[in-house]
Structure 1
Amino acid sequence: MAPASSSSSSMRLLLLCLLGFCVAVSHQQSTDPCGPARVAVASLVPFDSTSFRCTAVWKQEDFVLRYKNTGPSVWSFILSAPDKGSYVAVGFSGKGAMVGSSAVVGWASNGRGTVKQYYLGGKSPDECTANKGLLKLVKNKAVVVSHSGRLYLAFQLSTDYPQPHLIYAVGPDGNLPSRNSLQLPVHRNMASRSFNYTAGMASNAGGSGDGTFPMERKHGLLGMMGWGVLMPIGMMTARYFRQLDPCWFYSHMAIQVAGFAVGITAIVLGFGLNEDGLKNVNVHKALGIAILAMSSLQVMAILARPDKTSKVRRFWNWYHHNIGRAAILLAIGNVFLGLSIAQEVSAYVVSYGVFVAVWVVAVAAFEIKRFCADDD
């Protein structure tokens, strides 16, 4: 009996190993890692999917998003997720709210894939209307494919730049929309993420979501601090604190040189950023170069600063003051333009807006004080 028992145990062990091997293979096949390889269903997607950016956008449900600006006002997307006999959806929203947004929904049944746009007018199934929505789907460029345990939802949007918040949803396992009414069952899980198309990063509330700090945000914050904060403050020290001679001069010099150095760092980072599909980037870049040129002239002007008794001193003053004011006004405008291009979270826009408002009020108060002092 002992040999039989041993043989039986060996068979059980072999079966368990084989079962474990099969589970491992199945799990491996159901994953979709981002990498240099083409998407598994590239030949079944109705557009070229090479060189797409790829990122895990919803790790809890293993959602992977590939995307690219593939033409003038055309953005292509491939969303992959585990195929559990349910629908998968990705919506586009201006502020991250589900209600009022539009979504692309896909599912597969009996080897047949279905892709529909839905307008999410409310939170109940009756308020999610099929074949309605604000998204401009490119005709005949939407498909859903089931492959190796995953769904691949591919589609193209006709837009200059997609909305900055993506909404993901997955339906209940084994429960698909009705073939006749196309009504969506209540989702099993959903998530809303702000998405930076330039950096390829998703976040819940403006963070990077994976512990990194995107280069685009470094560029923006350095540019804001150098050109948009330090330069205006440096101007105030020179214009309104001359009674503190010579402290005002050295303070003015130190602040402006620091702002110039920080600003140059921001520009260097900016030239290395991905600009695909971004509107007004050329305007933003041109303004940045103009600000750099003006600031460089200001730095060089210090080397050619004439003596106070010189006859040309008043012309130098006119040049130095007006070029500086123009650079500051352009810098403030360019900071807001950059925030708009990056579609940054409102906290950055509001924070800088508050600084500019306080700076304008302070300048107005100091100018009134100077005017009253001159009258006296």
Structure 2
Amino acid sequence: SDMYNNSVLLDDQQVSFFWTLSDNSISFAARGEKKSGYLAIGFGNEMVHSFAYVGWFDDDGKGRVDTYWIDGKGAADVHPTKENLTYVRCKSENGIITMEFTRPFKPLCTKDQDGKPECKNIVDPSTPLKVIWAMGAKWSNDLTEKNMHSAHSSRHVKVMLTHGSAETEQDLRPVLTVHGFMMFLAWGILLPGGVMAARYLKHLKVMVGLKSMSICNIQDWLLCYLDFSFAVAELKGLYVTSLHVKLGMTAITLACFQPINALLRPKKPASGELLLREGVIWEYSHVIAGRSVIIIGMAALLTGMKHLGERYGEDVRRLTWALICWFLIGGVMVLYLEFRDKQTGDRSSGRGNWVLGN
């Protein structure tokens, strides 16, 4: 155990789990806390649909670590695989089994092997690894019902490989659902709604569009801030590793930049005067930042749906397509309004470009 940089206790504190990260591989070790004939750990939510590593002893007393793909609850559903393991060891001291092995983060599979289950057994250090365990009296090459475990974990534990910690899986779906809905209100309704109000309602009254946009933007920023704080508190920390988090942080940063940029707006030139260089730079920066916020915000929503599906193994394709359809409806509406304006020629001199916070 002294050879490994990180260690945690798995569910029910019956198995100690150790690991050390390298550039392209990871070294694992597992030790049972009570006597058994074999020790197994698995990567997955539960035994079914998990990749298992079994430490056991053959008839000659030689320690082995074999790999399996499990797709059912019977002995016939435990399928041997051929993973590229190195530095394999399995020993028993007074009936306490310890097994060790090193494996690459991504399986070394050729094109002909891509369809094999073990080729999908990828370990991503930036993503929590879900680990389960099992013990039994005896293991053998010829699997029968007698090989089934006599003790096993009641639930998986999420192991944070880069942080060296672990936590029992909580069902955060209600939290993430609220987070997703609030962000949809912010990035999918309030923000684009405010921008469209500023562009297409100016002809009603001089300040109607700008006031509508300001109200929507203020609500959008408050909603993002509250929802962001809520999500960080519930998830017990901010881990800027996934694409979804990076996109969300970028969108929030750009959104906060817009009102500051609006305060720095140069004075408009008098009638007949040319726009100064500072004014041109301000307009371009405001337009680029504003459009970027909308695009990045939409991308954050889509990657958030993907992240939710990967975290809980749920099918989110319908929700994703519904979100895409919502964006397409908004795009068609904008195209229609632009076409109508060009047809009627109803563009006042105060009508500016499509900007955010203008």
- The TM-score with structure 2 as length reference comes to 0.62
For 2:312 and 2:71, how far apart are their aligned partners in 1?
A: 25
Equivalent runs, 1:180-191 vs 2, <5 Å: 181=142, 185-190=147-152
**Is the alpha carbon distance of 1:315 and 1:358 closer, same or farther for their aligned partners in structure 2, counting shifts above 3 Å?**
farther
For 1:264 and 1:121, how far apart are their aligned partners in 2?
A: 38
Secondary structure, aligned partner of 1:102: strand
- Residue-pair matches, total: 302
Aligned residue in 1 for 2:70? 120
**Is the alpha carbon distance of 1:71 and 1:121 closer, same or farther for their aligned partners in structure 2, counting shifts above 3 Å?**
same
- 1:305 touches 1:316 (CA, 8 Å); kept in 2? yes
Equivalent runs, 1:59-138 vs 2, <5 Å: 59=12, 62-93=13-44, 98-99=48-49, 101-107=50-56, 113-120=63-70, 123-126=73-76, 128-129=78-79, 132-133=80-81, 135-137=83-85
Q: Which of 255, 258, 265 is residue 295 of structure 1 equivalent to?
A: 255
**Is the alpha carbon distance of 1:323 and 1:232 closer, same or farther for their aligned partners in structure 2, counting shifts above 3 Å?**
farther
For 1:233 and 1:249, how far apart are their aligned partners in 2?
A: 12
**Is the alpha carbon distance of 1:227 and 1:302 closer, same or farther for their aligned partners in structure 2, counting shifts above 3 Å?**
farther
For 1:360 and 1:89, how far apart are their aligned partners in 2?
A: 47
Aligned residue in 2 for 1:357? 324
Q: Which of 312, 325, 334 is residue 367 of structure 1 equivalent to?
A: 334
Q: Which moved more, 1:183-192 or 1:298-307?
A: 183-192
Aligned residue in 1 for 2:4? 49
Q: Which of 230, 240, 257 is residue 186 of structure 2 equivalent to?
A: 230
Deviation for aligned residue 1:298: 1.3
For 1:314 and 1:238, how far apart are their aligned partners in 2?
A: 23
Structure 2 spans left out of the alignment, 5+ residues = 107-121, 345-358
Paired AA for residue 301 in structure 1: N
Structure 1 spans left out of the alignment, 5+ residues = 1-41, 276-280
Aligned residue in 2 for 1:333? 299
Deviation for aligned residue 1:226: 8.1
Paired AA for residue 311 in structure 2: E
Deviation for aligned residue 1:71: 0.5
**Is the alpha carbon distance of 1:301 and 1:349 closer, same or farther for their aligned partners in structure 2, counting shifts above 3 Å?**
farther
* 1:253 corresponds to 2:217: yes
Equivalent runs, 1:312-331 vs 2, <5 Å: 312=275, 319-331=285-297
Equivalent runs, 1:4-19 vs 2, <5 Å: none
Superposed CA RMSD in Å reads: 4.8
Secondary structure, aligned partner of 1:91: strand
For 1:309 and 1:260, how far apart are their aligned partners in 2?
A: 35
- 2:27 touches 2:101 (CA, 8 Å); kept in 1? yes
- 2:16 touches 2:33 (CA, 8 Å); kept in 1? no
**Is the alpha carbon distance of 1:327 and 1:373 closer, same or farther for their aligned partners in structure 2, counting shifts above 3 Å?**
same
Secondary structure, aligned partner of 2:52: strand
**Is the alpha carbon distance of 1:55 and 1:119 closer, same or farther for their aligned partners in structure 2, counting shifts above 3 Å?**
same
For 1:113 and 1:78, how far apart are their aligned partners in 2?
A: 14
Paired AA for residue 40 in structure 2: A
Aligned residue in 1 for 2:350? none
**Is the alpha carbon distance of 1:71 and 1:228 closer, same or farther for their aligned partners in structure 2, counting shifts above 3 Å?**
farther
Aligned residue in 2 for 1:141? 88
For 1:136 and 1:353, how far apart are their aligned partners in 2?
A: 36
Q: Which of 135, 138, 144 is residue 176 of structure 1 equivalent to?
A: 138
Paired AA for residue 102 in structure 1: F
- The TM-score with structure 1 as length reference comes to 0.59
